């Protein structure tokens, strides 16, 4: 099984560096000759230089992935911080994706770290300029050969490359074969048709509708919630917030839209919103132009055009979701099933034969995800029509065992997708968000903010509450309300082991309740309580903790908070939140029944 996953790229965006990566595979290309004639001298050791030189001279058409990407290496005897800027060059693409020599006067500036080099190889694989076999050996494709040998564009600076007309033509062909890029163009075209030629789509609105929306790897902030939180940031923090606070799907949207902009298919503008009398903006908003519309017609086979063949790979069909090997395989065979027959019954039978059918709700969720991935699929209830031509991609042989298939979270999600007919599958993915443990502190902060925002979004979208995602120091994560009935002070906790509701969190909630009751100017300084409607009495306030699950003496914490504050509250797990939301959305419950469920215990629908 291929160990490398590609298909979703965040950071690489320089077509000049991409071209150098692909030219490594073409003997006597400009960058191949650069390597042979001096670039390899930047490799940190003579032994490693000779290994790579021998590889290029003997067979540069098939190169092991690790020799391309390089590795984390530091100077011999180095005692400083083991950070990316301090790495030495070890692989070919660490040189190719570094700064061009003509813009660098210091030797260390002309190569990059192994993370960045790996991302550039992934980008070339994603656009089908390169391909990788089951032994992780990389080679060039026909379209990659055309790109590598096309007339060169021009470097404007070490970070800016203007592609030539010929390069742009090849890149456009690659993009209309890449389903997520087609999806971005389609969303922009639909927005133009609905809202006019001046209408913009932010990376957040695109991210909400891109890929397998909602699951880890495809998280997205609500645009409205993001702007609300931005408006509450100190002026000195707004720039960092705009740069760093985004979901993974928002990053995919930003990256893809930036590529499309560089080849002239979309334009980029700032999107402004007036929030609390302040002008707020994001720099990442887009609209399609005429060239983009023509490219979309080619992609979809409109009018005189035959649809472009879409290039996909098994690894593109899930990223960070739990049990991703199984999920990728289920979705891959779903594509094969739709290619085989448009009948929903035949598709079910095809999957069931392979131990992959988990219910109609899961199947419909996967189909919706494949549409958001960028495949031209028409879902007509009992028929599913695939309008695209797709490459004959390979699915690894796996044994679909219960252990592989029935991970706990996957089992819960599959059950909910089959039962909650009124909910978007993207919102059911909050199950994974609630249990996610991030590898770094900064990533954990963003993931926690995503969980807060998604919780507020679900309660507004399905239960019909008003309110805002707040978050930040001295503020609850949100305040939601039904104007004539009740308000909710919301605190969310994304814990990988369940939430114990410790004394610190109880004290924080008590502070929020005191702020909401007293409404004293200047306390706290952010005066978050001004969101509470003036007609709402203190008796109408409630508190709610939301988590994946609760552990320890959490019930005692809920009761203690009730006794000390004099208001009612509850502990609400995300599965129950989803079931509650579905009941209200379907009309089985009224939102006015919600206060009765907040009875100072765990919220139950039984």
Cα separation of 525 and 474, whole Å? Answer: 9
For 453-480, the DSSP string reads: HHHHHHHHHTS--EEEE--STTS-SEEE
Q: Three-state DSSP class for 160?
A: strand
Cα separation of 488 and 551, whole Å? Answer: 22
Active-site residue (options: 69, 436, 493, 583)? 493
Cα separation of 321 and 365, whole Å? Answer: 14
* Cβ neighbourhood burial of 197 (10 Å; 0-12, 13-18, 19+): exposed
Active-site residue (options: 313, 427, 491, 540)? 491
Alpha-carbon distance values, 324 to 141, 277, 330, 415, 476 (Å): 27, 45, 10, 17, 34
Is the CB of residue 226 less than 8 Å from the CB of residue 150?
no
Instruction: Count the residues in the chain.
Output: 606
Cα separation of 295 and 168, whole Å? Answer: 12
DSSP 311: P
**Cα within 13 Å of Cα(448), Cβ side:** 19
The helix (H) or strand (E) run that includes residue 340 is: helix 324-340
Active-site residue (options: 477, 515, 540, 573)? 477
Is 493 an annotated catalytic residue? yes
What does the block give as tokens for 500? 């114990």
Number of H helices, E strands in the chain: 26, 18
Burial 83-105 (b: 16+ CB within 10 A, else e): eeeebbbbbbbbbbbbbbbeeee
Q: Provide the annotated active-site residues.
A: 477, 491, 493
């Amino acid at each position: 099984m291929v160990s490398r996953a590609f298909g979703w790229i965040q950071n690489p965006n320089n077509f000049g560096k991409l071209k150098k990566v692909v030219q490594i595979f073409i003997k006597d290309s400009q960058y191949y000759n650069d390597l042979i004639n001096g670039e390899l001298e930047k490799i940190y050791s003579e032994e490693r230089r000779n290994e790579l030189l021998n590889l290029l001279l003997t067979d540069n058409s098939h190169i092991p992935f690790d020799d391309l990407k390089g590795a984390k290496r530091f100077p011999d005897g180095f005692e400083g911080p083991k950070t990316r800027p301090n790495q030495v060059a070890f692989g070919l693409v660490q040189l190719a994706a570094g700064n061009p020599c003509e813009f660098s006067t210091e030797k260390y500036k002309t190569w990059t770290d192994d993370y960045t080099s790996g991302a550039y190889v992934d980008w070339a694989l994603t656009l089908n300029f390169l391909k990788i076999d089951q032994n992780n050996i990389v080679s060039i494709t026909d379209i990659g050969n055309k790109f590598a040998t096309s007339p060169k564009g021009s470097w404007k600076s070490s970070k800016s490359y203007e592609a030539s007309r010929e390069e742009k033509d090849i890149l456009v062909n690659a993009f209309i074969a890449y389903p997520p890029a087609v999806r971005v163009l389609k969303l922009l075209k639909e927005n133009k048709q609905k809202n006019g030629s001046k209408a913009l789509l932010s990376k957040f609105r695109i991210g909400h509708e891109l890929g397998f929306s909602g699951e880890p790897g495809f998280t997205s902030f609500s645009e409205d919630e993001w702007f609300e939180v931005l408006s509450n940031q100190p002026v000195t923090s707004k720039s960092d917030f705009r740069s760093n606070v985004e979901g993974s799907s928002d990053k995919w949207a930003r990256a893809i839209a930036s590529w499309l902009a560089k080849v002239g298919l979309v334009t980029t503008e700032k999107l402004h919103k007036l929030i609390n009398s302040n002008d707020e903006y994001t720099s990442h908003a887009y609209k399609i132009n005429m060239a983009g519309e023509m490219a979309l017609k080619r992609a979809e086979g409109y009018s005189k055009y035959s649809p472009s063949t879409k290039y996909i790979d098994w690894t593109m069909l899930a990223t960070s979701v739990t049990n991703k090997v199984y999920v990728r395989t289920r979705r891959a065979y779903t594509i094969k099933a739709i290619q085989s027959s448009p009948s929903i019954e035949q598709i079910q039978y095809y999957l069931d034969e392979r131990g992959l059918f988990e219910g109609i709700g899961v199947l419909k969720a996967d189909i919706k995800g494949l549409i958001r991935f960028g495949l031209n699929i028409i879902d007509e209830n009992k028929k599913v029509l695939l309008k695209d031509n797709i490459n004959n991609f390979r699915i690894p042989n796996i044994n679909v065992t219960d252990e592989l298939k029935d991970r706990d979270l996957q089992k819960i999600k599959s059950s909910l997708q089959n039962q909650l007919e009124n909910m978007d599958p993207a919102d059911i993915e909050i199950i994974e968000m609630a249990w996610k443990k991030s590898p770094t502190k900064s990533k954990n902060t963003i993931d926690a903010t995503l969980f807060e925002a998604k919780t507020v979004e679900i309660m507004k979208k399905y239960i019909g509450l008003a309110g805002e995602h707040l978050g930040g120091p001295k503020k609850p994560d949100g305040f939601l309300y039904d104007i004539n009935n009740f308000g909710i002070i919301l605190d969310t906790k994304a814990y990988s082991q369940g939430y114990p509701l410790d004394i610190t969190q109880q004290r924080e909630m008590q502070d929020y309740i005191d702020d909401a009751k007293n409404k004293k100017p200047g306390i706290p300084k952010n005066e978050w309580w001004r969101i509470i409607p003036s007609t709402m009495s203190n008796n109408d306030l409630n508190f709610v903790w939301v988590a994946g699950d609760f552990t320890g003496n959490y019930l005692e914490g809920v009761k203690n908070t009730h006794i000390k504050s004099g208001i009612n509250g509850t502990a609400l797990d995300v599965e129950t939140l989803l079931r509650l939301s579905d009941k209200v959305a379907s009309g089985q419950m009224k939102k006015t029944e919600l206060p009765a469920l907040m009875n100072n215990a765990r919220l139950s629908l039984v």
